[in-house]
Chain A
Amino acid sequence: MKAAAFDFSRASDINELTALKEGEKFVAGNQSLGPMMNLRLVRANRLVDIATLPALRKANEHSNHVEFGAAVTHAEIEDGETPDPANGWMKKAAANIAHRAVRNRGTIGGSLAHADPAADWVIVLTGLDAKVALIGPDGERKVNIEDFITGPYTTVLKENEFIASVEVPKRPTSACWGYWKFMRQVGEFAKASATVLIDQENGFYRCALGALEGPPLVLPRPLDIIEGDLGPKKAVEDALSVRKIASYDMHVAALERALEQAKEGLRL
């Protein structure tokens, strides 16, 4: 399949983005939109390329968080070209997204906007309690990652609103994390994933599940799960009872292994 005809232009100013006409779409890394346009599942009169906009390409370290511009690529995070908020977690996660060819072009903002339930940033940034900064015709707003994704491939983004940056809270060096995803093959989307974050200094604990055919799920009672008072199987069963999921064996395994990994870090 070949895409239906469309125009292409490169945005030169961030203000252009809030004034797109009907049928015009942003494109950044083009790793998901391109294939869908080729299959004619998505159409656009014009693609506006935002991948090189300087305002979206920055990654700044602030006192309590790191701000990743939406067009920062997976490869840049993988290669350590951006500040590290969480003891190498983002670098490690970036290095295992799809294949290098995808990482060279794919962007952190594009991944969140696409909101594939099985995508790495969707679950990892949930595990890291990130915030998403959005700019639209009505101005700027910040949304917690948990509120940003509302369903499979669905977010709170409004018309002509775009992701400007992602803010990831900085964690002390004593914080430990675990991230386990199960893929059938290297480079494929995950079938099940889980994250665990143990930040004893700040008393912040988080266990989350991903690749759920919907938004990631932040599990209640994370400390009980981490301390072993609530078993992974029970925790997953209880949490998933609200979602109609046929089988969650793989998610139980994912959580068990993410826990193991995080706890191993704790001992070091």
Chain B
Amino acid sequence: MTTKVKGPASKKGIGASLSRQEDDRYLNGRGKFVGDIKMQGMLELAFVRSPIAHGNITGVTTPETPKDRVFTAKSLCDVKSIKADSGLPGFRSSLQPILADEKVRHVGEPIVACLAESRARAEDLCELVTVEIDELPAVSDMRKARDKAAPLVHEHWEENVFLESCVETDFEAAKTDAASVVKRTFRTARQCMAPIEGRGVIALWDRHLEMLTIHSATQIPHIIRTGLAGCLGLDHGQVRIIAPDVGGGFGFKSQLLSEEVCAAWIAMHLDRPIRWLEDRREHLSGTANCREHYYEITGYAGTDGELLAVDCEAIVDAGAYSTYPFSACLESAQIASILPGPYRLKGYRCKTWSVSTNKPPLLPYRGVARTGVCFAIELLLDALARDLGITPEEIRRKNLVTPEAMPFVNITNKYFDSGDYPKALSKALEAIDINSIRKEKASQSGDKLTGVGLSIFCEQGAHGTSVYHGWGIPMVPGFEQAGARLTPDGGLELRVGVHSHGQGLETTLAQIAYDEIGVDPKKVKVVHGDTAYTPYSTGTWGSRCIVMAGGAVGAASAALGDRIKHIAAHLLQCGREDITLEDGMAHAGKSSVSIEEVAKTWYLKPQQLPDDVDPRGLEVTEGYKTVQDTGTFSYACHAVKVAVDIKSGNIELLDYVIVEDAGTMINPMIVDGQVVGGTVQGIGTALFEEMPFDYSGQPLASTLADYHLPVAGDIPPVRITHMETPSPLSRFGQKGIGESGAIGPPAAIANAVNDALSPLGVEVSEIPMTPERVLSVIKQSERKQVA
């Protein structure tokens, strides 16, 4: 069901680039983050964390004084460890302790909690604690994690594997006629997600009501409530989670934290508010990572470039523990299911291993496995094209799913709902002006080599019950609900269980409601991030909010609109069907009554209501699902022009073009912002960001001097072209777009670098493409020449 969208005449509703309503608060310093909240009697929490990656704890000595300020695992004896199992066959279960007791499994794992009036004094207290650990050999390289001789991260397991999976469809038959067989290995670095605001939590126990209130920088307040109540043995009714303003999530804030559980337990037992604010060092060296994949991939193609089959073995370094709620299966299971990308494929085989190592747990980061998968398949396609002597665009055109085939079910049963992938490619080639770049390349000289690269991908967003039920993780999204309530002054309150932390939902959801009932977005208050006021939701992740919460707000607003119309029709003495709601008014022909008057009538002048008025009043909660829950498929083509300095190994981005199809855009300006923001993060993945570990599992980049984030000077202007193919599955034709930008850059940039290096006959295959890596690849060319 796709509701017809109002035309461009609507300057505030769907399709309008309305300025973000929340920005006034943020830009004027009125944002309220966990770090801004102070409570009377609040104590700050700091952790003694494991300095080594793997070992048995043999002793913990804590200072005698002060009393009740230092807590160990023994203190927290009645707390349950965090457990996040997948229902997929063969999944091995891990238990993440709140405070490590017998064993530590990664550097940064919390062992002792210390409290003081300030964070600095809490850290002083940490220095008085002694922890003795018998160091064990660590598993730090995912490729060696499955070796027979490898030490076991979880000592009762047979091997360091959370989950092994294999998908195979017509593989053997499809590959027999291949004219080109190309094999490559690719590696993506381990990263940190680095939101501007780190994690943070304040736990407050009300001993009168026996009620725990948690302020947490989280994307998923309702799921945190469920997880936390479980660990602490509380009823849901005793736990309220408030996610205030949150400074970026990207997946990092979609996890129940042991620190959160610990703060809550202490607050309950000390009867004082307890706050923990993650600092940058904890973020970089101890809490959670993302992205680390390894691929051995072989492509089989016909002489004309037709992709016949792909064979892949992929490893994901999932770190020490399966995190709640997404578990350690998500990333590797996703690789197997989305590796074929936007292409038709005759045969396919993919084996994946999600391995456990002595590193912090792996979380799904913006794009989840797609960034790595796109890197692998897109570099493979370019390698096949080079082998066959055809251009990168020719091999893509040959294999992209065509618009005529839509909706298309691919080899892994993904349902591509709509779109014109070849057209996105053509538009990108035109926008980057590929012919000029190739001419320029033909006559280049000197140390700087020019290259142009492409990546094209589709992004499944807002997928629902059947997909997640299949993975059997602790959380399965169902109907998304929204509440809509007219206030006595004619304003509108929308209540949603998702959370907005940069997505602009306080604006876009108001725009959707505006189209349904005509209340000015300025008079719409979006209530989110508080389990006490909002319907249960799995929260903000998976590019789902604009589709699911947007659809739910649409449904709730429409239902509320019906009730408004009923009262208005009575006041105007006309039929309900004659009423239209627009710009704060209910119109019937030439007569009209304001929505404010309708609201006043219900709340303050009930004597004027019709006899048959709906007794449920001007407040509704509606649930929403897409037409089918296979997800919307947005897609994009990235094209980038680079210059590679072959003397220094430096890569300069000269031009960056994106052609993007988000379906119906609720707010094109916000779509652009999401795409550019994601692209900057993708550039970070491509060129800068890496959290290296040594053989003993020590993280080697513990400050931002060593962990390089992309900065303004690294980013060229990103030029975006939109296509707008409405999704047949969503309420307004909108598609999830939040993660898209972060998916394409590593593949496009690496393909551009490889294009630049093609005269030297060498290729990069590992990200980030640091100057050292680029120079070492160039050296291979020198060695080849000598040989």
Co-assembled chains A and B: yes
- Give bound CA distance, A35 to B775, whole Å: 32
- Give bound CA distance, A40 to B649, whole Å: 35
Can you list 13 A-B contacts with CB-CB less than 8 angstroms, sorted by A residue number? A1-B279, A2-B118, A2-B123, A3-B120, A4-B127, A5-B120, A35-B703, A39-B703, A184-B770, A186-B714, A247-B772, A252-B647, A253-B447
A116 → chain B, closest Cβ, in Å?
A: 10
Which secondary structure dominates chain A's binding surface?
loop
Residues on B with C-beta less than 8 A from A184 are 650, 687-688, 708, 770-771
- Give bound CA distance, A52 to B688, whole Å: 38
Candidates A2, A5, A186, A191; contact of B771 at CB < 8 Å: A191
Residues on B with C-beta less than 8 A from A247 are 772, 775
Q: Are A2 and B713 also in contact (CB < 8 A) when A182-B650, A250-B775 are? A: no
Q: Chain A residue with minimal CB distance to B120?
A: A2
- Docked-complex contact B713 and A185, CB < 8 angstroms: yes
Residues on B with C-beta less than 8 A from A185 are 688, 708, 710-711, 713-714
- Give bound CA distance, A250 to B648, whole Å: 5
B119 within 8 A of A: yes
Q: Name the residue among B279, B770, B771 with the largest chain A CB count within 10 angstroms.
A: B771
B489 within 8 A of A: no
Residues on A with C-beta less than 8 A from B118 are 2
- Give bound CA distance, A35 to B279, whole Å: 13
Q: Using an 8 Å CB-CB cutoff, how does the interface string of A185-213 with B read, 1 for contact, 0 for none?
A: 11111011000000000000000000000
- Docked-complex contact A187 and B279, CB < 8 angstroms: no
A167 within 8 A of B: no
A120 within 8 A of B: no
- Docked-complex contact A192 and B648, CB < 8 angstroms: yes
Q: Using an 8 Å CB-CB cutoff, how does the interface string of A161-200 with B read, 1 for contact, 0 for none?
A: 0000000000000000000001011111101100000000
- Give bound CA distance, A82 to B275, whole Å: 48
Residues in A244-268 with C-beta less than 8 Å from chain B = 247, 249-250, 252-254, 256
Interface residues of B (CB under 8 A from A): 118-120, 123-124, 127, 279, 281, 447, 645, 647-650, 687-688, 703, 705, 708, 710-714, 770-772, 775
Residues on A with C-beta less than 8 A from B714 are 185-186
Residues on B with C-beta less than 8 A from A39 are 281, 703
- Docked-complex contact A5 and B124, CB < 8 angstroms: yes
Residues in A34-57 with C-beta less than 8 Å from chain B = 35, 39-40
Residues on A with C-beta less than 8 A from B650 are 182, 184
- Give bound CA distance, A256 to B446, whole Å: 13
Give me 5 other A-B pairs in contact (C-beta within 8 A), A184-B687, A252-B647 excluded: A2-B123, A3-B120, A39-B281, A189-B705, A192-B648
Q: Chain B residue with minimal CB distance to A251?
A: B648
- Give bound CA distance, A192 to B648, whole Å: 9
- Give bound CA distance, A184 to B710, whole Å: 10
Q: Chain A residue with minimal CB distance to B118?
A: A2
Q: Chain B residue with minimal CB distance to A257?
A: B647
Q: Chain B residue with minimal CB distance to A253?
A: B647
- Give bound CA distance, A188 to B710, whole Å: 11
- Give bound CA distance, A256 to B646, whole Å: 13
Residues on B with C-beta less than 8 A from A189 are 705
Q: Chain A residue with minimal CB distance to B280?
A: A1
- Docked-complex contact A182 and B124, CB < 8 angstroms: no
- Give bound CA distance, A254 to B650, whole Å: 12
- Give bound CA distance, A254 to B447, whole Å: 13
Q: Name the residue among A1, A3, A39 with the largest chain B CB count within 10 angstroms.
A: A1
Q: Chain B residue with minimal CB distance to A252?
A: B647
- Docked-complex contact A249 and B281, CB < 8 angstroms: no
- Give bound CA distance, A39 to B281, whole Å: 9
B280 → chain A, closest Cβ, in Å?
A: 9
- Give bound CA distance, A186 to B708, whole Å: 11
- Docked-complex contact B281 and A1, CB < 8 angstroms: yes
- Give bound CA distance, A39 to B713, whole Å: 28
Residues on B with C-beta less than 8 A from A253 are 447, 645, 647-648
Closest 9 pairs between A and B when the two form their complex, measured CB to CB: A186-B713, A2-B120, A253-B647, A253-B648, A182-B648, A2-B119, A250-B648, A249-B775, A1-B281
- Give bound CA distance, A192 to B645, whole Å: 14
Residues on A with C-beta less than 8 A from B281 are 1, 39
Residues on A with C-beta less than 8 A from B649 are 249-250
Q: Are A182 and B711 also in contact (CB < 8 A) when A1-B279, A1-B281, A249-B647 are? A: no
Residues in A215-268 with C-beta less than 8 Å from chain B = 247, 249-250, 252-254, 256
- Docked-complex contact A4 and B124, CB < 8 angstroms: yes
Q: Are A1 and B123 also in contact (CB < 8 A) when A186-B714, A187-B713, A249-B647 are? A: yes
Residues on A with C-beta less than 8 A from B120 are 2-5
Residues on A with C-beta less than 8 A from B688 are 184-185
Q: Using an 8 Å CB-CB cutoff, how does the interface string of A5-25 with B read, 1 for contact, 0 for none?
A: 100000000000000000000
- Docked-complex contact B708 and A188, CB < 8 angstroms: yes
Q: Chain B residue with minimal CB distance to A254?
A: B648
- Give bound CA distance, A177 to B650, whole Å: 24
Residues on A with C-beta less than 8 A from B708 are 184-185, 188
B704 → chain A, closest Cβ, in Å?
A: 10
- Give bound CA distance, A130 to B195, whole Å: 43
Q: Chain A residue with minimal CB distance to B779?
A: A249
Q: Chain A residue with minimal CB distance to B704?
A: A35
Q: Chain A residue with minimal CB distance to B650?
A: A182
Q: Using an 8 Å CB-CB cutoff, how does the interface string of A87-126 with B read, 1 for contact, 0 for none?
A: 0000000000000000000000000000000000000000
B665 → chain A, closest Cβ, in Å?
A: 33
Residues on B with C-beta less than 8 A from A249 are 647-649, 775
Residues on A with C-beta less than 8 A from B687 are 184
Residues on A with C-beta less than 8 A from B127 are 4
Residues on A with C-beta less than 8 A from B124 are 4-5
- Give bound CA distance, A2 to B279, whole Å: 9
A210 → chain B, closest Cβ, in Å?
A: 15
Residues on B with C-beta less than 8 A from A1 are 123, 279, 281
B209 → chain A, closest Cβ, in Å?
A: 34
Q: Chain A residue with minimal CB distance to B124?
A: A4
Q: Name the residue among A188, A250, A254, A256 with the largest chain B CB count within 10 angstroms.
A: A250
